[in-house]
Every structure is written in C-alpha cells, then in structure tokens.
Amino acid sequence: MRQAGRYLPEYRKLREDTPNFLSFCYSPALTVEAALQPLRRFQPDAAILFSDILVIPDGLGQSVRFEGGVGPVLEPIRSETDLKQLQVSKVLDHLEPVFESVRQLSAALPHNVALIGFAGSPWTVAYYMVEGRSGQDGSTIKKWAIEEPDGFQKLIDILVPVTTDYLIEQIKNGAETIQLFDSWSGLLEAEHFDRWIIQPTREIVAGIKQHNPDVPVIGFPRGAGDQTIKYAENTGVDGIGIDSDISPAWARDNLQGLKTVQGNLDNQILREGGKKLEDETINILQTLSGGPFIFNLGHGILPETPPDNVIRVAEIVRGHHHAST
C-alpha cells in the first residue's frame, strides 16, 4: 500500500526533475525506479506498480492535475451532459505508458517478488471525477447517485468496462495480482453500498476472472466497517484489505473465514515508531497469522514517516514468519 512515495528521500529527489506528477506516471523509466526504491530498502514480498488511480479520468479526457499541498484537482463532471465529453475509445491507447511500466517492472523484479497491478474502484474514481478534489464530504456525488441514479449509473457504466480492460491489460503485461482501491466506500450505506460499491466491483472481478481465473484480486473497501462482510461475501474478491479502524480480532472472527485478510497497521503509529509500533505490529501478526493473511498497512505511508520505522516493521514481520513456519 503506497510503499513508494514522499517519505523516501530518493523518491523526492527523483520527483524534483518532473514536477508534473502525471508526466512522472507516464515515464516508464521513472515509475520503474520509484517502484524499485522501497524494494532496495525493505525487501518486501511484493512490489506495487507506480502509477495513480486518476490516470483513468485523465485517459478519458477529463482535466486532471496534481497541485502540491492540495492533491488532485479535476474539472468536475456533474451531469449526463458532462459525460458526453468523456472519450472512452482512446483510454487504453493513452495508458500505454502504464503498460510499458508494467512490462519493464516485471522484467526488473526478482522472481520471488510478486508484481501488484491496481486501479481505483468505479465509486472512488467517480468521487474524484464528480467532487473535483480530495477532502470533500461526498455530498455532491451522493446527491447525484441517490437522487438521479439512472444518470449516475451512466458514469459507472463507463468506468466498469474501462477499468476491467485496463486491469486485464496490466495482467497481460506482467501484473500477477490485482488490487482495487475503494478509498471512499465509507460514504455509502445499505442499498447504496450494494449498488455503487458491490455491484460494479463484482462486474470488474468477474471480467478479470473470465480471462485470468488464477490471478488473485484484493479489494480494499476503506471505511466500510461492518459492510466489509457483505463486500467480502458478494464481490468475488480473493483478498480483503482492511483499514486501521477495523480491529484485527474482528477481522479474524468475521472475515478470515471468508477471504485472505490484508492489513492493517495504522500509518500514524508507523510514523511515531517506538515500542507502540513494535507492540501493534506483533499484535496484528499474532491475531491474524492463524489464517490466510498478508501483512500490510491500513492506509498509505505518511510523508513524515522515518524509513527506519518501516525497516523495523519489516524485521518483526519476517522474524515472526520464520518463527511460525
């Protein structure tokens, strides 16, 4: 989960020469280097492609830029008329540099390091497309989805096949596992969660599996709370990523019988370090290692995190693994 990024001095240095973040994402030499940087320091078991979930709206022709200190800024899409501006047929051509990054990264990785490809879920990508920037309460997208579901469905119906094709193409080029980030799934409840989170995710997973039955898909419905259970039961994912609001014991009791659980060290605790970090890492390992489990964070690494804290966690996780096998 965001193992590359601004907490690494070597990444900040690499980014200095390419201030435009999307240009960086479309430069395979740079993305491969950014993806390899954390591997050199921590030797994790998997590497994640360096890209961003917002290359999809960019590829659809929506205006997307990244502003320092603000994050992504998009020209919002808020009506069926706005949808007509999106150019569905050109997306995969536009994203060819991402596939080239996957090819080069796949060739550069040692055989025992898995390559994770990824995309945002339709709901989470739509959140940025409709709200226009991060940190919004989601009232604009929720109003559209709940009050005019037939119109909003058209946006989701654009994103589902595009995202499916995008992920299948990543697999063709060397991705071995797929992760679907649903960072804003916590905005919806009950039947809205079923329609806008579970249903589109199920369609994407089925589309991937039709051609690639053996490629595992990990879903990350951040903020979904108790609804994580029905997500795990009904989307077809193989793994379920949990955020740090979910207790490891709850995940063991409610999710591990259904799917492989991935998570969920708190990124604030990772930043703080010290004994609390060691205790929490051990607690997660002891609670979840009895079943199918992938150690990970509950959300992306914060830019202020000392890399030495990540090294400490990696040592504890590997020590625990060797002690229990």
Binding residues for ligand 1CP (CB under 6 A): 2-6, 15, 21, 48, 50-54, 66, 71-72, 118, 134, 181, 183, 300
Angstrom distances, CA of residue 101 to CA of 107, 144, 215 = 10, 36, 19
11 an active-site residue?
A: no
Please give the helix or strand (H or E) that residue 71 lies within, else none.
strand 71-74
Which candidate in 6, 78, 103, 271 is catalytic? 6
For residue 164, give every residue at least 6 positions away whose Cβ sits within 8 Å of its Cβ, in sequence order, or none: 203, 204, 207, 208
Q: Cβ of residue 52: shortest distance to ligand 1CP, in angstroms?
A: 4
Q: What's CA 245's distance to the chain center, in Å?
A: 17
Amino acid type, 289: S
Helices then strands, each counted (H, E), the chain? 17, 9
Nearer to ligand 1CP by Cβ, of 41 and 320: the residue is: 41
Looking at residue 304, what DSSP letter applies?
T
Determine the Cα–Cα distance for residues 181 and 125; give it in Å rounded to an integer.
9
Nearer to ligand 1CP by Cβ, of 58 and 287: the residue is: 58
7 an active-site residue?
A: no
82 an active-site residue?
A: no
| Phi, psi (deg, nearest 5) at residue 82 | -60, -35
| Residue 262 structure tokens | 């991935």
Q: Cβ of residue 68: shortest distance to ligand 1CP, in angstroms?
A: 7
Q: Cβ of residue 72: shortest distance to ligand 1CP, in angstroms?
A: 5
Which candidate in 52, 182, 243, 266 is catalytic? 52
| Residue 137 structure tokens | 């309460």
128 an active-site residue?
A: yes
Which candidate in 2, 65, 103, 312 is catalytic? 2
Which candidate in 128, 182, 231, 243 is catalytic? 128
| Residue 175 structure tokens | 């991705």
Q: Cβ of residue 253: shortest distance to ligand 1CP, in angstroms?
A: 25
b (16+ CB within 10 A) / e for 94-118: bbebbbbbbbbbbeebeeebebbbb
Determine the Cα–Cα distance for residues 6 and 306; give it in Å rounded to an integer.
11
Nearer to ligand 1CP by Cβ, of 52 and 58: the residue is: 52
Determine the Cα–Cα distance for residues 233 and 226; give it in Å rounded to an integer.
12
Determine the Cα–Cα distance for residues 270 and 308; give it in Å rounded to an integer.
10
Question: Residue 49: which of 114, 123, 125, 127 has the closest Cα?
Answer: 114
Q: Cβ of residue 322: shortest distance to ligand 1CP, in angstroms?
A: 26
Nearer to ligand 1CP by Cβ, of 15 and 94: the residue is: 15
Determine the Cα–Cα distance for residues 139 and 35; give it in Å rounded to an integer.
35
Nearer to ligand 1CP by Cβ, of 25 and 158: the residue is: 25
103 an active-site residue?
A: no
For residue 168, give every residue at least 6 positions away whose Cβ sits within 8 Å of its Cβ, in sequence order, or none: 207, 208, 211, 212
Nearer to ligand 1CP by Cβ, of 185 and 287: the residue is: 185
Nearer to ligand 1CP by Cβ, of 66 and 250: the residue is: 66
Residue number, nearest CB to ligand 1CP: 134
Q: Cβ of residue 285: shortest distance to ligand 1CP, in angstroms?
A: 22
Q: Cβ of residue 5: shortest distance to ligand 1CP, in angstroms?
A: 4
Catalytic residues: 2, 6, 15, 52, 128
